[in-house]
Chains A and B, each alone.
Chain A
Amino acid sequence: MITHLILKNFVAFTDLAIDFSPGINIIIGENGTGKTQLLKAILALCGAEARTEDAGEQLARKLCRLYHPLSGQVGELRRAGTRGESILTAAFASGQGVTVRFSGAAKQAKVTSGAGGNVAAAIFIPTKEVLSLVRGLTAEQPDQATIARIFDDGYLDLARQLIQEGADDLDAKVQLDPRFASIVPRLATLIGGRYELHEGRFCFQVGEYVEKRGQSSSAEKAPQSFQDSELQFVPAKSRLVSSTMTAEGFRKIGVLQRLLGNGSLNPGTAGPLLWDEPESNLNPKLMRDLVLALLELARNGQQIILATHDYVLLKWFDLLIDKGKGDQVRFHVLSREAETGQVRRDSMDDYRAIEPNAIADTFNELTKEQVARRMGGLGK
């Protein structure tokens, strides 16, 4: 769990400091305010590279794979027109900390990481879906160089996490672990089935979780299960469908299903879940249930950091948040100062305090447009 982040003279940021909530953090900002860059910085600082013997070289390479600078050198990521080194600092709940520095001409970074507990790797879900990419990576002789040229590590890291086998008996998990019982069936209901990995490619199986009484195969694998009735995924009679044939918004939910299934996303032990624009390609009707699922993950100890410019998503969080259940949502607004061009940050715990609130502004625009069209100059 990341508690604090400082980015100085790094990509879009001159001087940025953020305190993260252990629950849900929502980074809000217009295009070009550095939301994705912020998420990628967290991904890099949570990664194993920072704690290797040759951390300076490893982390420099990681940053290049994430941001794809033209020169291929980390120094290019230093913010142009600023003085001093780029400095990235993260503090974690485990007491760990890491600081990365590099100059504009650097090919390597200087990394200092404090002693302390382990830092769990973050999971980054980029804006575009990744399930289809998996097939390219699991091919017999994947062309790694070409893949790395097209996709930054934000995509590749996730694809690798999706391929991980892990304990994929999702049914047993649903039985045994109330954390999964409250989330996994909900996701399946949301998209009317689930994604499964078959021979290196993700396919979609129509079906639903139903409550069954008595023994089942997953209960045998889990003798400690003491429930008489249990939820079980029942596939419909229809054939498996290639993931490419399913809606892209569904595939994003599929990513969440798979990460929960193979243990990459294990609330309570996993690093922060970083999700860039969860709303992209998502049917707005799915938004409410997605927010419910995210709140449920956070209630089970999963730190979540979202980047969005969809104020409808924010409104859903505002409406569905249940402080009685310990929900903590913090909003971090990134905006660019008109005069200096610098990105500034404001953080707040109340949706209503967000300024400017584009959702209200949008609805007010609608009201005014209707007056103009139907009433002309009356009252003016």
Chain B
Amino acid sequence: MKLRERDLEIDFTDAVDAVVFDQMKAKKPNYHGIDQMHRVDFVVELEEALLFVEVKDPSNPKAQAEGLEKFYAELKNGTLGDTFAAKFIDTFLYRWAEDLLHKPVHYISLVTFEDSELLPNFSDEIARKLPPMGKAVPRWKRQLAQNCQVFNIELWNQSFPKWPVTRIAPAKNT
């Protein structure tokens, strides 16, 4: 099942279901409808797990200088990590309300960093911002996310050969 976010397309070849979760066009299927809630781009259901997938493409050749500056400024001051965490939490609540949250969740994001050195740090930053915020909470019986990790295209493809990501030429308006 292929899902596309702008110029990046991921083919979840073994998915049971895969939806564009942040669908905000009312006439399209799976309309989300609550613009006050943060949303990840895709939710993918596998046999034994759910994937929440957020895609950011700072290496897009078409990216504007202004947008990139904002992206890296937000990465530096932590707001990008806050946003990634908020997207997970709100998506988690939404799926709970849909009664579609019965499998372990993996929050895997595709961020097209050129420097792969940034990936482990950013992954850990997001994970720290998800409840229980790195604290040991004996009352908790379950964890929200089994894994919270950020990949660039190269490492995504090496890690998940069944979900290949490709950069595609933008569709022409016909």
- Which residues of A pack against B, CB within 8 Å? 315, 359-360, 363-364, 366-368, 370-371, 374-375, 378-380
Contacts and interface: CB of A to CB of B under 8 A. Distances in A.
Contact of A367 (B48, B146, B155): B155
Nearest to A365: B120
B149 interface: yes
Contacts of A380: 160-162
Interface string B135-168: 0000000000011010100010011111100000
Contact of A363 (B14, B117, B161, B163): B117
Contacts of A370: 120, 123, 147, 149
B114 to A, nearest CB: 9
Interface string B112-130: 0001110110010000000
B87 interface: no
B120 A371 contact: no
Interface string B39-51: 0000000101100
B159 A367 contact: yes
A350 to B, nearest CB: 14
A359 B119 CA distance: 13
A199 B48 CA distance: 73
Given A360-B117, A363-B116, A380-B161, A368 B155 contact: yes
Interface in B1-29: 14
Contacts of B120: 363, 366-367, 370
Given A371-B147, A379-B160, A380-B162, 15 more contacts: A360-B115, A360-B117, A363-B117, A363-B119, A363-B120, A364-B116, A367-B116, A367-B151, A370-B123, A370-B147, A370-B149, A374-B147, A375-B146, A375-B147, A379-B161
18 contacts: A315-B117, A360-B117, A364-B116, A364-B155, A367-B120, A367-B149, A367-B155, A370-B120, A370-B123, A370-B147, A374-B106, A374-B147, A375-B146, A379-B14, A379-B162, A379-B163, A380-B161, A380-B162
Interface residues of B, number: 22
A364 B159 CA distance: 10
Q: Considering residues A315, A359, A371, A380, which has the most beta carbons from chain B within 10 angstroms of its beta carbon?
A: A371
A368 B159 contact: yes
A370 B124 CA distance: 11
Contacts of A366: 120
A366 B49 CA distance: 23
B13 to A, nearest CB: 9
A371 B159 contact: yes
A367 B115 CA distance: 13
Contacts of B146: 374-375
A367 B14 CA distance: 22
Q: Considering residues A368, A370, A378, which has the most beta carbons from chain B within 10 angstroms of its beta carbon?
A: A378
